[in-house]
Structure 1
Amino acid sequence: MENFLKKQNIKFIEAGFLDLHGVLRTRTFPADKIDELTSEGYGFDGYSVGYSNIEDSDLLARIDPTTLHVYEIDNIKIAFFLCDLYKDEKPLEIYPRYILKKIEKELSYKVLIGPELEFYIIKEDGSKDNGFYMASHPEDEDELLKRRLILELENIGINVELTHHEVGPGQHEITLPAMSPLEMADLTVFYKKYLKIFFSQYGYKVTFMPKPFEGLAGNGMHVHLSLWKDSRNIFYDDGLSDEAKYFMGGLLKYAPNIAVYTNPTVNSYKRLVPGFEAPVYLLWDWGNRSVLVRVPKYRKINPKNARVEYRAPDASGNIYLAFASIINAGIKGLKEKIDPGDPFNDNAYKPENQGKFKTLPNTLFKAIEYSKNMNLFSEELKNRYLKLKIKEWREYENYIGKNGLTLNTLAVTEWEIARYFWR
Structure 2
Amino acid sequence: MATPTPEKLLEFIKEKNVKWVDLQFMDIPGYIQHITIPSYTLKEEDFTDGIGKLDGSSIKGFKSIFESDMRMFPDPNTCAVLPWTDNTPHKTLRLICDLYDAFGGPRFTRDPRYIAQKAEEAVKKAGFDVSYWGPELEFFVFDSFKLLPSFSTARDAWSGTGYEIQSKEAPWSHTSGINHPIRFKEGYYPAPPQDTLVDLRNEITGQLYDYFNIICDAHHHEVATAGQCEIDMKYDTLTKMADNVLTYKNVVKNVAYHMKMIATFMPKPIFGDNASGMHIHQSLWKGMNGSSHNTFYDPDDEYAEISQTCRYYIGGLMEHSRALCAITSPTTNSYKRLVPGYEAPVYIAWSKRNRSASIRVPVYEKGKEAPKRIEFRPPDTSCNIYYAFAALTAAGLDGIKKKMDPGNPCDENIYHLTAERRHEMGIKECPGSLQEALDELETDRKFLESIFPGDAIDMWIELKSEEYKQNSIRPTPFEFYQYFDI
Residue correspondences, number: 407
Please name the residue that 1:11 is paired with: 19
Please name the residue that 1:85 is paired with: 99
Partner Cα separation in structure 2 for residue 175 and residue 93 of structure 1: 31
Q: Which of 237, 251, 260 is 1:180 aligned to?
A: 237
Please name the residue that 1:232 is paired with: 293
* Alpha carbons 1:240, 1:301 under 8 Å: kept: no
Runs of 4+ aligned structure 1 residues displaced above 6 Å come to none
Please name the residue that 1:255 is paired with: 321
Normalized against structure 2, the TM-score is what?
Answer: 0.80
Q: 1:211-251, CA deviations, whole angstroms, 9 ceiling, x for partnerless residues? A: 11111111111000011001000101111111111101111
Please name the residue that 1:360 is paired with: 430
Please name the residue that 2:148 is paired with: none
Partner Cα separation in structure 2 for residue 55 and residue 30 of structure 1: 29
Closer, same or farther: CA 353–305 of 1 in aligned 2, 3 Å: farther
SS of the residue 1:55 aligns to:
helix
Structure 2 residue 199 is the aligned partner of structure 1 residue 147: no
Please name the residue that 2:465 is paired with: 390
* Alpha carbons 1:272, 1:362 under 8 Å: kept: yes
* Alpha carbons 2:278, 2:381 under 8 Å: kept: yes
Q: Which of 64, 67, 71 is 1:53 aligned to?
A: 64
Partner Cα separation in structure 2 for residue 181 and residue 237 of structure 1: 23
Structure 2 residue 169 is the aligned partner of structure 1 residue 122: no
Deviates more, 1:141-150 or 1:75-84: 141-150
Deviates more, 1:179-188 or 1:297-306: 297-306
Identity across matched positions, percent: 35
Matches for 1:138-287 after TM superposition, within 5 Å: 138-156=193-211, 157-169=213-225, 170-230=227-287, 231-238=292-299, 239-287=305-353
Uncovered stretches (5+) of structure 2, i.e. residues with no partner:
1-8, 146-165, 170-180, 300-304, 482-486
Q: Which of 409, 430, 438 is 1:343 aligned to?
A: 409
Uncovered stretches (5+) of structure 1, i.e. residues with no partner:
410-423
* Alpha carbons 2:56, 2:63 under 8 Å: kept: yes
SS of the residue 2:428 aligns to:
coil
Partner Cα separation in structure 1 for residue 215 and residue 41 of structure 2: 29
SS of the residue 1:10 aligns to:
coil
Please name the residue that 2:161 is paired with: none
SS of the residue 1:211 aligns to:
coil
Q: Which of 73, 78, 96 is 2:112 aligned to?
A: 96
The residue type paired with residue 120 of structure 2 is E
* Alpha carbons 2:268, 2:276 under 8 Å: kept: yes
Shift of 1:42: 2.9
Q: Which of 2, 27, 47 is 2:35 aligned to?
A: 27
Shift of 1:8: 1.7
Please name the residue that 1:381 is paired with: 456
Partner Cα separation in structure 1 for residue 135 and residue 256 of structure 2: 21
Please name the residue that 1:111 is paired with: 131
The residue type paired with residue 197 of structure 1 is N
CA RMSD after TM alignment:
2.0
Partner Cα separation in structure 2 for residue 285 and residue 243 of structure 1: 16
Partner Cα separation in structure 2 for residue 128 and residue 383 of structure 1: 44
Q: 1:352-381, CA deviations, whole angstroms, 9 ceiling, x for partnerless residues? A: 247633111110101110001222122211
SS of the residue 2:67 aligns to:
coil
Q: 1:81-112, CA deviations, whole angstroms, 9 ceiling, x for partnerless residues? A: 11111113211122121111022024232100
Please name the residue that 2:51 is paired with: 41
Shift of 1:72: 3.0
Structure 2 residue 49 is the aligned partner of structure 1 residue 66: no
Normalized against structure 1, the TM-score is what?
Answer: 0.92
SS of the residue 2:236 aligns to:
coil
Structure possessing the higher radius of gyration over alpha carbons: 2
Partner Cα separation in structure 1 for residue 442 and residue 204 of structure 2: 42
Shift of 1:45: 2.1
Structure 2 residue 385 is the aligned partner of structure 1 residue 319: yes
